[in-house]
Each structure stands twice: as C-alpha cells, then as structure tokens.
Structure 1
Amino acid sequence: MASQPEPPLSSSPTGTDSAAPGSGAPKPAPGLLRSSGVVGLMTLLSRVLGLVRDMVVARYFGAGTGADAFFVAFKIPNFLRRLFAEGAFSQAFVPVLSSYREQGDITEVRRLVNAVAGSLGLVLLGVTVVAMIGSPLLTAVFAPGFVDETVKFGLASDMLRITFPYLLLISLTAFAGAILNSYDRFAVPAFTPVLLNLAMIAAAIWLAPLMAEPIMALAWGVFIAGALQLFFQLPFLMRLGLLPRPKVDYRHEGVRRILTLMTPALFGVSVSQINLLLDTVLASFLQTGSVSWLYYSDRLSELPLGVFGIAIATVILPSLSRKHASASAEQFAATLDWAVRAVLLIGVPAALALALLAEPLLATLFGYGEVTPRDLAMSAQSLRAYSAGLVAFMLIKVLAPGFFARQDTRTPVKIGIIAMVANMVFNLLLIVPLAHAGLALATSLSAWLNGGLLWRGLKREQAWRSQPGWPVFLLRLLAANGALAAVILWLVGPAARWLTMSGSERALAMAGLVGAGVVAYFAVLALVGVRIRHFRIR
C-alpha cells in the first residue's frame, strides 16, 4: 500500500508557496493544517478543563435533583448560543465580512463591524430581558417533565434568571471571535472558553459552600464566565483596529445581508444542537438522573468534536469564503475535500475509542463522590449511542460551511428540517425500548441523515469534487483503526475492574491505554504510507 501514489493534498489550493525570504512577495496565510492545529490545541486545553469542571460538578452534586435542574438552566442559554451566536450568526457574518475585506477598504469593514455590534447587541438585550422575566415559562417549555416536581422546577427557573444573560455576553464574544478568525487570529477565540471552565470550577469549590442553596453557585459561575470571555477578547480587537463603536443601523447593506442569511441558517447550522435539546425535553419525563446521564455522555462525545471537528470548521469557513469571493472553484473543492479527509482521519478512531472505552472513561472521569456505579453504567449506554454518530456530527461541521461560504443558507435549512423531523421519529421509536440511550441513538441516526444529505448537495452542485487517492486513503484508514481496536480490546479488561481502582490508578491505567492506542494507530498509518505532508494545505 505504501507504493500507491500519494493523494494531492500536499499541494496548495491557492497554487502558491511561501515566499522566499527577502523576495518582497506577500506573506501567505498560515496553512490550514497549522491553523487547525492551533485551534485544536487551544480547544483541547478548554475541553480538558471542561472535563475537570464536569468531574468537580459530578463530585459535589452528582446526578440528582439539583444537578438536573442546573443542567437544564445551563443548557437553554448554551443551546441558544450554539444555535444563534456560534451557529447562524457566525456562519452568516464571516462570509459577509470576508467579502468586505476582499472588495472594500478598512473603513468599510469598520462601518460593518460597528453596525453589526449595535444591531446585534440591541436584539440580544431585548431577548435577555424577556427571557429573565419569563424564566418559568421557558423552563416549562424546555423541561416539561419538571412541572410536576416543585423543587426541581423552582430551582431550574431561578437559575435560568442568572444563566440567561450568558447568551448576551457569549454572543458578543462570538462576534468578536468571528472578526479575529476572519483575520486568521484563531488562537484567542479558541482559548476563550477556558475562562468558562475556570469560573465554574471556582464557583463549585469556593462559592458553593457560602450559599444557602449550593447548586446556585454554578449559575453565578456561568454569568461571571460570560463577562470574562467578552472582556478578554476586546484588547485583541483593539490591536487589529476593529474595536467596535456600536451603532444601531439595520439599513446597513451588510447588516441586511447578514440578517437574510441568518434566518434559514438558524436551523441549518445547528440541527444537531436542536436534536440534543429535544433529548433533554424528552429525558425530563424519564427517571431522575436521565438528564445528567445524557449530559455526561454528551460531554465526552463533545471532546473530539470540539477539538477536531469544530477546529477544522472554524479554520475553513474564512478560507472557503475568500475562495468563493475570488471565484476559485477548484481551490474551494480541494479545501472541502481536505476537510473531509481530516475529519475521517481523527473522527473514526475517536468514535471507535469512545464506544470501546465507555465505562472505563466515565469511571476515570466521573466515578467519584455522589456518582454511583449505576450512573456510570447508564451514562455508558448513551455514550455508545452518541459515539455512533460522532463522525456524522464532525462531517456536518465541515460540510455546512461549503454552503454558508457561498452564502447559500436555504439548502442547509431544508436538509436540517428533514433531519430534525427524522430525529423526532427516531426518538418516538427508540425511547420506549432504550430509554435515555434511545434518545442519544436517535440523535446519531439523524446526524448521519443530515451529513449524507449535505454531502449529496455539495456533490450535486460540484462544490465538492473527490480528489485523487480516496480508495487508498480508506484502506489505510481501515488498517489503522483495526490496529487501534485490537490494542484496546487486548488491554482494557472487564469494566467492573475499573470500579475497584483508586482514582490515581484509573488515571494511570487510562493514560497508558490511550497512549498505546494512539501509538498503534499512528504507527500503522505511517507503515501504510500516510504522511503529514499529505495534509498540508494553504
């Protein structure tokens, strides 16, 4: 297999290489692999701290009434953040900003930034005030199963009043991050979520003991984190000369274009998040602990999705937008092909490892304090179900920008509606026999439908065209994943054994197991001819 011709991913889709020193040529943009690595590294730091945060929350609050109430109060603004700020808004704003950069001057860019800041901020402020006033109604809508449980419903409603302003703060943070990403300043926005995790960890450890209702400390931690994240990015915008001076101007041509693109994108970009929220709604009717089991398993599946899938998507959207603005169809297709291969290279082994290591991973991270062995077993069921859709979740993240970069938001929304309806059907079919795990499996199945339809649409419009080398790449991937599975199954041992270990023993055993799997996977990739240069692209 090593003798097969190499795929042409090492070539630059721009057709240019780095300028020689002293040549006077403009400095090229950083390579996509390097930029994805920077974002992935920062995101990895954030996700590791996120796991630490969840370990702290699990240790102090377990999976009982208070934890269920907080996860609902946190999930509502967090869901809207992903749907609106990091979803529809970013996907609409970045292509428009990129076109202004390509076709206009810095004065026009500043006017756009100021108009968007003022218009966006006013809408978000209004939504936040209304949501805080109507928090019981929102709780009833998003967790109807809590209505008959007075204590749980009251806690969730009270915490929602504190957590909902996070949407305002984090949406403005996403706006600032989108500007930085458009100018290839990827590290700062990728590092910013670290502050959320640090704030929540501090709230759980030091603020909770001071409060009459300890779980309320987590809600205040979320609010504080939103403010920290926004103010952290402002100096970097100032350095670019793009610190906004908000001006409400809905007549601005760029604002109108963004609003036009956002309306359908609200569904198209974040269907997976809508599906996860539907899981929470239905899980609120199941036995106590179901919401928490889904939360802990979702958090683990989000680790590879955030570190690699979202990292690649973050990097390619500005690149695809610029290529579309400059009418570089071949480079556009080559970039999408690169993104799909990169997702498969990381996503397939990550999904396989999560499925095979569900109980040991959950025991290592969350099996302490108030968390019971039954909680771990139940969370493992939903983790395996989520892992079945991990590759699909990642593909959605990199395929959807293929539409948004071309300012086509209608096609993804049509596909998103189909996937959302399918998810509800799958939920109804699977919730009775599989309970909370059925909800997770339904989300995975609908993600595959979503990803498949996105891929078919891009291929039909010739926005994505298969580059040479796919059969060889897939065979190499199959060999490496086979080696990974063999090593894990050989070393993991029975799940019950992990529950008898101390925390340090679990951590050391898991580190050794993961290390052995990573070495086996990449060693086999190297043996069959995969090289880093195959994935270098500017």
Structure 2
Amino acid sequence: MSDKTRPAVSEPIEETATGETAMPTTRGGLLRSGMVVSVMTLASRVLGLVRDVVIAALLGAGSGADAFFVAFKIPNFMRRLFAEGAFNQAFVPVLSEYATQRTRAEVRELLDAVSGSLSVVLALITALAIAAAPWLTWLFAPGFKADPGKLALTAEMLRLTFPYLLLISLTAFAGSVLNTWERFAVPAFTPVLLNVCLIGAALWLTPLMSDPALGLAWGVLIAGAAQLLFQLPFLARLGLTPRFVPNFRHPGVRRILRLMTPALFGVSVSQINLLLDTVLASFLVSGSVSWLYYSDRLVELPLGVFGIAIATVILPALSKRHAEQSGEHFARMLDWALRMVLLIGLPAALALVLLAEPLLVTLFHYGAMTDHDVVMASRSLRAYALGLLAFMLIKVLAPGYFARQDTKTPVKIGIVAMAANMLMNLALIVPLAHAGLALATALSAFLNAGLLGAGLRKRGVLRFQPGWGRYAFQVVGGCLLMGLVLWWLSPSWHVWVEWGALHRAGELTLLVAAGAGVYFAWLAASGVRLRHFRLRG
C-alpha cells in the first residue's frame, strides 16, 4: 500500500482501493507515547493516593477497612486477571493483525463479535458471583469466618462491587482498541474517574450508610459505569463503536479464547500472588489485610506510572512488528523497554525502602490510622519494594511472548513462579507475618521475570544491544548517590509524626526532589541523554 492510500491516524479508519485497512503508524515514537501514558497515569495515581488518604482517615486499618478492601480486591483482581491481563494480551495481537491485513468490514465484525461475546460471559459470571457472594467471601478471605459480622459486611459489599468487573472489562476492551489506534491518552486517563468517584463516595455517601464502608462499595459501582461511558465517544470518533453481537464461532473470537486460556496465568501471576497474600493475611491479626493494601498502593504508584505505561505502548508496537516480520526492530524495542525499566525501577525501589515510614506517615497517618499501623505497613512496603523492579520487568517481558501469540510459555513460567510463591508464603508467614507474604511475592516475581527473560533470549527474540555495561554503571552509580542523599537528609519517622500535614508534605517533596535531582544530575554528568531513549514504534 502506498503512503497516499494510508489513512492518517487522526481520522476514522477508511477502506482503501484494495479493501484493506491500514495499521496506524506511530506518531511520536515509543518514548513520546510512553510519556503521554505516564503523565495520564500519574494523574490517576496521585488521585488514587488522595483516595487512599481519605479512606485511611475514614476507616483506618480496622474491620470495616479490611472488609472493603477484600470486597474491592476480588473484582479488581479479576479485572487485572481477565481484562488487563489475559484478555488484553490475547486481543491486541489479534486486533493488530486484523487492522494490518484485513478489510475494514472484517475489523468491525471482529469488534462486534468480541464485545458481544465478552459481555455475555461477564454478565453470567457477575450474576453467579452476586448470588454466591457469601461463599466467594469465605473463599477469598477464609479467616473472616471467625468474625461473622465482618464476613457478612464483606459479602454485602461484594454484591455491589462485583458488577464493576463487567463494566471495567468492557472499558478495557474499548481501551485496547484505542491503544491499537494509538489513542493512548484516553485509556490512561480513564482510571482517574475511579478515584474521583471513590473520593466523592467517601465524602458524600458514607455518612448516609449504616456502615461507612458501604458508601465506598457504591462508589466502585458508579465508577465502573462512568469509566465505560467516558470512552465510548472516542470509539465513535474513530468509527469503531461495537454493536455487541455475540458470536463465539467467529474465527477471531476463537483465536482470542485459545490465547486467553493460558494467558490467565501468564502476565497476571503477580496479581494471583497478591491475592494469595490477602487470603493468608485474613488469618493473621486484624489490620493485616489493610497493611498489605496500603503498602501495595505505594508500590503500585511507580509500577503504574512507568512499568505499566511502557507495557501499554510496547504491546501494540511489538504486535505490529511481529505481523510485519520485523525481527530486528522487535528486539530493539524489547531492549529499549528493559533500559527504561532499569532507569526508573531501580531508584524507585530504593526510595521506597529508604522512605517507607515518611511516605506512610505523610499519606495515611490521619484519623483512625495509628503509629502501630505505620510500623506494620512499613515492613510489608519494604518487602514489596524489593520486588518492584521484577514487577516492572514482568510487565515488559511478557508482551514479548504475547505479541508473537505465544501464551503457552508464560503460563508454564507462571505456574512455576506461583508454586514457588506459595511455598515461600508458608515458610515466611510464621517468622515475618504479613511482611513475609509480601517478601514471598517479591522473590517469586524475580523468579518469574528471570525465566521470562531467559526464554526470550533462548529464542533469539531478546538480543541485548551494545552499551549495557556502561548503562548499568550509570544507573547504579546514580542510585548509590541518591540513596546517600536520602539517608542523610531524612530525619527519624517519629519526628514526622509530630509535624502537621503541610509540613510533612513539604519535607517529603524536598526529599524526593533532592534525591531525583542528584540521580538525574549524575546520569547527565555520566553521559546519559534523552535522545538515547528515542525509538520509533
């Protein structure tokens, strides 16, 4: 196809003279696309922290908080497992192939069939989950059985939160289409609405409820509808609004289902491990589920802003290169993604370890949150932080398989990592309690990432580009200097408790700015330049 017949990515897809659709070309390269996603995700994560500050002040780390976090985690876990995990990794490569090699009518037929089939399956699952809410609660938090009131409250909230899975999965479907047509900003901004809805529910709905946590459950349901409705106009602008026609016999749907089955365990193993943490933590002292939640939320900030952002832009690009049989560019993209992960993941993990208590005090030590909660949450935060780099590596290495429509290898690796996590959970929960669960998750993530990387190397798909020795020296050197600055400038966390909210926020901002300034100054002095990270998609 000539450039004259290739439609611009800012316009709806148009059928060419040959009846083919054109896969949109990357408008600004992977770095620019990744920065767009990062900025939008940062806005969402910052609002997410505000949301958690409000929830911590309202519920603390007591029974109500534990109940809500479990009721929200169950559909949220399944969202990550199905929508952002298995479905996204199976759907995007197939959609990219259709957009590259098929007609416009065939692309729209695929979207109609996938959206309709997905809706039917999720509606059935949602109906069953609502009916079986008490049993689901017992399954995911069996330790709550010792407190019948807590168990009943969790089941009641689960009936409100579980429909979120249906709504957010359709939102993920729409986001996958938009990402394939390089509208990265819209799906990245969409989670902002979840945080806005939960903050609004915390402020205005919780006072009206018999238990404040019920207001938050209603907020989750409202957020699911808001996120889906937000994305539909952008699909319409591209001329890609689906008609929701179920067709499980459609060849594209059947291929996606075949790819999804093993992918359920592939990229989502870390989420399964986090859920196992919740199950085991339900047997520990009250507050354990909440301590894990607050520490996980802080690790999710850099993981979402950078790790998931890189994975978001690289999957459609890798799928495109695989469809075009461009192996050399495929390898360069993976190498670029690994360098980006190291650039951000290593200093972020070190900062979380060094500033665990100051971060928790600044963000959550208000209202019902106690000093004891800060101490307990800091232990699991440091353990999770040790695995941050591995969590990010999984996000960028797994697309190397899924873009090539290989979902069997990641599932085998995922099963090994999950089994290792379960064994380490049992070994570490007794001496370290909830922190042992977090540490087991971090260690199993390194095992998962290592096996994924080794598999890609063995297949010749991952080929390290020149300059890795110098690059590692630059990044590690910057981290050492940053760590010294943070250790020297940060006072004892007991001092932070005595400060007011504005004082805490100001001190933390100065610390982060000083650490980041030293880190990036060292990178610049050692020869790292922005142009080194520019890569066309």
Give the Cα–Cα distance (whole angstroms) in 2 for the partners of residues 447 and 356 of structure 1.
21
What secondary structure does 2:212 align onto?
coil
User: What is the deviation of 1:30?
Assistant: 2.3
| Counterpart amino acid of residue 250 in structure 1 | F
Q: Secondary structure at the match of 2:146?
A: coil
Give the one of 411, 433, 451 matched to 2:449.
Answer: 451
Shift of 1:413: 0.1
**Secondary structure at the counterpart of residue 61 of structure 2:** coil
State TM-score, norm by structure 1. Answer: 0.95
* Aligned-residue offset at 1:306: 0.2
Work out the CA distance in 1 between the residues paired with 2:352 and 2:271: 20
Asked if residue 239 in structure 1 is aligned to residue 237 in structure 2, the reply is yes
In the alignment, which residue of structure 2 is the partner of 1:252?
Answer: 250
Please list the CA deviations of residues 412-470 of structure 1 after superposition, one character each: whole Å capped at 9, or x if unmatched: 00000000000000001100000000000000000000000000000000110010000
Question: Which residue in 1 is equivalent to 2:20?
Answer: none
Residue by residue over 1:264-301, the C-alpha shift from the partner in whole angstroms, topping out at 9 and shown as x without a partner, is: 00011100000000000000000000000000000000
Supply the AA of the counterpart residue of 1:144. Answer: P
The answer to whether the Cα contact below 8 Å between 2:26 and 2:182 also exists between their aligned partners in 1 is no
Residue 415 of structure 1 is aligned with which of 392, 408, 413? Answer: 413
Residue of structure 2 equivalent to 1:190: 188
- Structure 2 residue identity aligned to 1:518: A
Q: CA deviation at 1:160?
A: 0.1
Question: What residue number does 1:502 align with?
Answer: 500
The runs of 5 or more residues in structure 2 that have no matched partner are 1-7, 9-23
Matches within 5 A, 1:32-111: 32-111=30-109
Name the counterpart of 2:227.
Answer: 229
Alignment match, 2:264: 266
Q: Is the 8 A contact 2:315 2:403 kept in 1?
A: yes
The Cα shift of 1:483 comes to 1.1
- C-alpha offsets along residues 205-239 of structure 1, whole Å, 9 cap, x if unaligned? 11111112221000000000000000000000000
Unaligned runs of 5+ in 1: 1-18, 20-25
The one-letter amino acid paired with 1:345 is L
Cα distance, 1:398 vs structure 2: 0.1
Pick one of 419, 444, 461 that aligns with 1:463: 461
Where 1:243 maps in the other structure, the secondary structure is coil
Q: Which residues of 2 match residues 94-133 of structure 1 at below 5 A?
A: 94-133=92-131
Aligned counterpart, 1:212: 210
> What residue is the counterpart of 1:8 in the other structure?
none
Which residue does the alignment assign to 1:168? 166
After superposition, residues 153-164 of structure 1 pair within 5 angstroms as: 153-164=151-162
| Structure 2 counterparts to residues 254-403 of structure 1, below 5 A | 254-403=252-401
Q: How much is the aligned-residue C-alpha RMSD, in angstroms?
A: 0.9
Q: 1:277 is matched by which residue type in structure 2?
A: L
Distance 1:417 1:369 in 2: 41
2:490 to 492, 503, 506: 492
**Aligned mates of 1:48, 1:68 — CA distance in 2:** 22
Identity of aligned residues (%): 66
| CA distances 1:34-93 after superposition (whole Å, capped 9, x unpaired) | 000000000000000000000000001111010000000000000000000000000000
Say if 1:137 and 1:27 are closer, same or farther in 2 by CA, change over 3 A. closer
Q: Does 1:534 align with 2:522?
A: no
Instruction: Name the aligned partner's letter for residue 81 of structure 1.
Output: R
Q: Letter of the aligned partner of 2:468 in structure 1?
A: W
2:362 alignment partner AA: T
For 2:186, give the aligned amino acid: V
The 3-state SS of whatever aligns with 1:406 is coil
How many residues in Structure 1 have an aligned counterpart in Structure 2? Answer: 514
Shift of 1:27: 6.7
TM-score normalized by structure 2? 0.95
Letter in 2 for 1:32: L
Q: Which runs of 4+ in 1 moved over 6 A?
A: none
Q: Which letter maps to 1:319?
A: A
Alpha-carbon offset, residue 148 of structure 1: 1.9
Of stretches 271-280 and 484-493 in structure 1, the one that deviates more from structure 2 is 484-493
Aligned to 1:10: none
